[in-house]
């Protein structure tokens, strides 16, 4: 087996392979110069590792595409909370029962989203996309989003739940870049905390049947209680099978695990296409 000849064969098919593999070529030459049987036996494993490293690196364009996708969502949330927490709207929402603690929580969430935008823009540099214009009424679907406190909270929950599932959906695309993947997972967990807190805020107000039944976590395909136009946010959340295991067939306390418990114990990702379909109505 002549590994250098194999590499030449590959280079005729993939001209970029040489760039990916250099300077590892010298390492291969050193490996092939060993005379021991142990070294020869290790060659297949060494070569497999080499391929994994050579092709495991993602292009900058691929990583930037994922980060700009995340930046779009963070722009959306940042602008939404900025609009909903200004002095005029805070005063309006206060007359509708917004507490001081709730106002502080929303300001904290707004600060987090601003930090997320700043972070993503700093990582992307000149590759960062410009902030788009938004229509938070979703083309008139939610005309009272900034005049009715409960509608505002419901839309906020919709955005946060979408963000959580969106980050989860993009994680596999960042496996080749552990630094970026770690940062994305850090953002993901904060979005999940936002979503949970907003759900608790809505449950505490209990101004509707949907709000009074709200839990800090997603149960099946339950929606925000603001109409079918955002039900796509929870598509697939009724999944009860994980890695080929049907969760409801597992014995729990007092019998098999229920469907509700099975869906609450696992969160599902959303594809990029699904997220864009949800977000598009909010783009001006």
Give 117's pLDDT tier (boundaries 50, 70, 90).
very high
Tens of pLDDT, residues 36-62: 444 545 545 544 454 444 444 557 788
User: How many whole angstroms separate alpha carbon 56 and alpha carbon 119?
Assistant: 25
The DSSP code for 239 is -
Tens of pLDDT, residues 222-249: 666 665 555 688 889 999 999 999 999 9
Q: Compute the average pLDDT of residues 165-193.
A: 91
Q: Compute the average pLDDT of residues 150-170.
A: 93
CA angle 201, 203, 206 (to 5 degrees): 115
**Per-domain residue ranges of the chain:** 3-56, 68-217+268-282
Q: CB–CB of 78/141 below 8 Å?
A: no
Distances (CA, A) of 118 to 70, 71, 111, 248, 275: 12, 9, 11, 43, 22
Q: What pTM did the predictor assign?
A: 0.77
pLDDT of residue 205: 87
User: How many whole angstroms separate alpha carbon 227 and alpha carbon 143?
Assistant: 13
The DSSP code for 141 is T
Tokens of 164: 């959580």
Tokens of 252: 């729990």
Tens of pLDDT, residues 134-147: 999 999 999 999 99
Tokens of 47: 């070569």
Strand partners, 134: 283
pLDDT of residue 62: 82
Distances (CA, A) of 33 to 9, 23, 39: 20, 17, 9
Tokens of 18: 């040489």
Among 77, 80, 87, 144, which Cα is nearest to 113's? 77
Distances (CA, A) of 202 to 9, 57, 242: 63, 44, 30
Tokens of 15: 């001209």
Q: What are the residues whose beta carbons fall under 8 Å from the beta carbon of 122, sequence distance 6 or more?
A: none
CA angle 169, 172, 64 (to 5 degrees): 85
14-23, 66-75, 105-114, 176-185: lowest mean pLDDT where? 14-23
Give 200's pLDDT tier (boundaries 50, 70, 90).
very high
Q: How many residues does the chain have?
A: 284
Is the model's pLDDT at 96 over the cut of 70? yes
Q: CB–CB of 221/230 below 8 Å?
A: no
């Amino acid at each position: 087996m002549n590994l250098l000849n194999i590499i030449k064969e590959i280079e005729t098919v993939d001209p970029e392979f040489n760039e990916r593999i250099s300077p590892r070529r010298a390492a291969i030459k050193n490996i092939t110069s060993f005379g021991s049987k142990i070294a020869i036996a290790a060659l297949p494993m060494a070569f497999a590792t080499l391929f994994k490293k050579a092709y495991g690196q993602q292009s900058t364009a691929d990583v930037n595409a994922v980060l700009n996708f995340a930046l779009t969502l963070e722009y959306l949330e940042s602008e939404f909370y900025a609009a909903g927490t200004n002095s005029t709207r805070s005063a309006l929402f206060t007359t509708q029962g917004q507490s001081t603690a709730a106002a502080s929580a929303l300001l904290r969430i707004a600060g987090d989203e601003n930090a997320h935008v700043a972070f993503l823009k700093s990582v992307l540099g000149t590759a960062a996309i410009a902030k788009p214009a938004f229509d938070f009424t979703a083309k008139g679907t939610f005309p009272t989003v900034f005049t009715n406190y409960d509608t505002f909270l419901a839309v906020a929950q919709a955005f946060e739940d979408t963000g959580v599932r969106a980050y989860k959906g993009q994680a596999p695309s960042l496996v080749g870049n552990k630094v970026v993947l770690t940062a994305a997972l850090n953002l993901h967990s904060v979005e999940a905390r936002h979503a949970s807190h907003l759900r608790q805020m809505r449950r505490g107000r209990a101004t509707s049947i949907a709000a009074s039944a709200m839990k800090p976590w997603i149960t099946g395909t339950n929606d925000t209680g603001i109409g079918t136009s955002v039900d796509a946010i929870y598509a697939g959340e009724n999944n009860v099978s994980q890695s080929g295991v049907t969760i409801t067939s597992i014995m729990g306390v007092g019998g098999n695990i229920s469907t509700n418990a099975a869906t609450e114990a696992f969160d599902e990702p959303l594809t990029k296409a699904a997220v864009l379909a949800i977000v598009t109505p909010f783009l001006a």
